[in-house]
Structure 1
Amino acid sequence: MSDAALNQEKEQLLEDVRQVLSSTEDLLGAASDEGGEKGRELRKRLGENIKLAKARLLEAEKLVVGKAKVAARATDDYVHENPWKSIGIAAGVGFLLGMLVSRR
């Protein structure tokens, strides 16, 4: 899956969660004003919206974890295929960070 497709899916999931939470806030406001049967119905819908939001957040978490695993695997493969380049890059980054820290 490409980065663009992952970003699009992530944005869609976040938008879905925002919509569910907005709807839940509206229901919560209406439920606090209502009693009786209508209040019970609003609270039921509120519970359903919260379950939906949790499910969407779990989907987003799976997406992020999956992407992190792919990145970690690619990094691991690169380091195993190019150990000396990796050591050189790490040394260069360490040198630059050392220079930046010593200037302060």
Structure 2
Amino acid sequence: WNSLDTGLRLFFSREVKGKAGEDLVEKQNAEMGLMPVVTQESATYGYDAEDRHFVRVFLKRERPELTFDDGVEVMRVLMTAYMSAEQGKTLEFPPKGLDAFVPAVAKGTWKP
């Protein structure tokens, strides 16, 4: 199962009559054909439960399940993945130079 495997789909065609314009849908995965539509995105992706959790721990002055430090660690993993992709090899974690690393995509030099 994935969040884009929904029962609701929207059909896009390039054979549109009328004035030219844009026909974009957030998170669309192609320019024509059947596009999945995620209803109640906040519930589907867990944002409602996440928000409730943070309100509850804030009001009770408790520590949240995930902290700022967890977010920093996620970013270190992501930056290592970028570094690994740019170097074309597997890296030890954390790799040397990670703290100063800026991925090509962030520098605007990435060429897909």
Q: Same fold (TM over 0.5)?
A: no
Report which of the two has the higher share of strand: 2
Report which of the two has the higher share of helix: 1
Larger Rg: 1
What TM bracket, shorter-length normalisation?
0.3 to 0.5
TM-score using structure 2 length: 0.32
